[in-house]
Amino acid sequence: MSDQQGITVPKGKDFSEWYNEVTLKAGLADFSSVKGFMFIKPYGYGIWELIQAALDSLLKAQGHQNAYSPALIPERFLQREQEHVEGFSPELFVVTQAGTQPLEERLILRPTSETVVYDAYAKWIRSWRDLPLLYNYWNSVFRAEIKMTKLFLRTCEFLWQEGHTVHATEGEADREVRSILESYRTLMEDYLAIPVLTGRKSDKEKFAGAVYTTTLEALMPDGKALQMGTSHQLGQNFAKAFGITFLDQAQKRQHAWQTSWGVSTRTIGAVIMVHGDDRGLVLPPRIAPIQVVVVPIFQDASKDSVLKEAKHLQGKLEKLGIRVQLDDREGYSPGWKFNEWELKGVPVRLEIGPKDLEQQQAILVRRDSMQKQPVKWDALGTVVPALLEDIQAALFRKATSFLEANTRPAATLKELGRLAEKEKGFILAGWCGNKACEEQVKDQTGTDIRVIPFQPPAGACVVCGNSGQQACFARAY
């Protein structure tokens, strides 16, 4: 860390290069020598642990339980659901050998676990008493990406959770899909401070094997959309392919209804992009591994007394449940430390020096606005928690303003094209529901349908003019 420089590329100048610099220099992740794969470093993994804790507790509060399913899947399992195998085949890693022996049957590294999990569910589920079955799996999945690697956003392996639930009725599965989507929204908005649009995917964009897919879409500062999570109604598609049946209360055998849903480490990429600035990362306090960094400032004469008080204040804040780090390293100037912790996006810096001792105060600096304020020691216990909440709220407000300012209507295909080219952002435009029109928009403007609102206003299709509904188009990651 000692020879680390600050960010050299402004966010507004070269967004992609800025993203790489922040991700690498803040110590979040690194490229592995294994082509296409990512190393998540402790600071990035610390953010993931906080995201996991938040989501895990939201899921458990709704009765979900965690489990673990094998990482390797026999190729024949994937072939049982036609749409599913077609969707995933181009990007599968295949194991063909174990030890010195060729395998009798080729094994696939899970790109997602529907098939291997549902093979097991078919064995476990017998009666309505076994339903609903609400299991969630924290693991990593593998997709042989041929495009260029981008840390957190496009790698051959990423961490996520995948939920796989089984229900007795279609309505119950529908409600699960929506309830998960709302939990995901809570995670994105209340923890990551990133506003999202929710709704359905078009049939073209839905999950391979699903009846329908719901999604959360966020807007990045370069005007491109990022899918933050999806929740799928699988209907009875997989239940029929894998023979998942149950005896209902009337002793009649029925195929079950299923859902699957996932959120990945890609969300960390969104946090970097949405909140970061030219100094580096800016972390929302709720997912910041370090919420407050205490930087003591002293000369030889004042060292002992300043350090003593710095430790005291650290302990005081930790007792309130705040994640605090004391940076008492020797051989680094306070200015150097300020730069480093700004680069790492720590929400609040607490400075304390000899003059502050006299005043019984500390200087608080908030990372988002860089505003400074002196605060008396006695007041820190109330001011710091309030400041963290305020930063959390301010980041969400700012991101929401950006989303709103960059969501625009288009009445014609030409206007849609112009907006996609010049303004970027989300574009609301009418669509008749036909795939041909959707593909024509993609060809002519480079935008996909990111999301169709759950209650879309009516709107004439910008391609064919037939009556339809409003959909949200954008270029996307």
Write out the residues near a second copy by the rule CB under 8 A. 1-3, 30, 32-34, 37-42, 45-46, 48-49, 65-74, 77, 89-100, 107, 109, 116, 119-120, 123-124, 126-127, 129-130, 135, 139-140, 142, 144, 146, 156-157, 159
Please say which residue, 331 or 455, places its beta carbon nearer to a second copy: 331
Q: How far is the CB of 109 from a second copy (least distance, A)?
A: 7
Please say which residue, 119 or 438, places its beta carbon nearer to a second copy: 119
Q: How far is the CB of 442 from a second copy (least distance, A)?
A: 23
d(CA 436, CA 450): 16
Please say which residue, 36 or 409, places its beta carbon nearer to a second copy: 36
Q: How far is the CB of 321 from a second copy (least distance, A)?
A: 15
Please say which residue, 93 or 377, places its beta carbon nearer to a second copy: 93
Q: How far is the CB of 155 from a second copy (least distance, A)?
A: 9
Close Cβ partners of 19 (under 8 Å, ≥ 6 residues apart): 150, 269, 272, 273, 276
- Closest by CA to 326, choosing from 355, 306, 302, 343, is 306
- Tokens standing for residue 425: 């952002």
Please say which residue, 129 or 422, places its beta carbon nearer to a second copy: 129
Q: How far is the CB of 241 from a second copy (least distance, A)?
A: 14
Q: Say which amino acid occupies 290.
A: I
Residue 289: cis peptide before it, omega within 30 degrees of 0: no
d(CA 423, CA 363): 41
- Full DSSP string of 432-477: -S-HHHHHHHHHHHS-EEEEB-SSPPEEE-TTT--EEEEEEEE-B-
Please say which residue, 48 or 298, places its beta carbon nearer to a second copy: 48
Please say which residue, 37 or 402, places its beta carbon nearer to a second copy: 37
- Tokens standing for residue 299: 């000369």
172, 173, 176, 177: CA torsion to nearest 10: -140
**C-alpha distances in angstroms, 334 versus 159, 320, 329?**
36, 26, 10
Q: Say which amino acid occupies 39.
A: F
Q: How far is the CB of 204 from a second copy (least distance, A)?
A: 21
Close Cβ partners of 80 (under 8 Å, ≥ 6 residues apart): 115, 241, 242
Query: Under a CB-based contact definition with an 8 Å cutoff, are residues 205 and 224 in contact?
Result: no
305, 311, 317, 319: CA torsion to nearest 10: -130
Please say which residue, 157 or 174, places its beta carbon nearer to a second copy: 157
- Closest by CA to 117, choosing from 157, 50, 169, 68, is 68
Query: Any bridge partners for residue 137, and if so which?
Result: 162
Query: Under a CB-based contact definition with an 8 Å cutoff, are residues 223 and 475 in contact?
Result: yes
Q: How far is the CB of 43 from a second copy (least distance, A)?
A: 8
Please say which residue, 245 or 469, places its beta carbon nearer to a second copy: 245
- Full DSSP string of 362-394: EEEEETTT--EEEEEHHHHHHHHHHHHHHHHHH
Q: How far is the CB of 30 from a second copy (least distance, A)?
A: 7
Q: How far is the CB of 475 from a second copy (least distance, A)?
A: 25
- Closest by CA to 398, choosing from 367, 428, 419, is 367
Q: Say which amino acid occupies 412.
A: T
Q: How far is the CB of 464 from a second copy (least distance, A)?
A: 35
Q: How far is the CB of 254 from a second copy (least distance, A)?
A: 17
d(CA 246, CA 124): 10
Please say which residue, 97 or 371, places its beta carbon nearer to a second copy: 97
- Closest by CA to 473, choosing from 412, 399, 398, is 412
Please say which residue, 146 or 301, places its beta carbon nearer to a second copy: 146
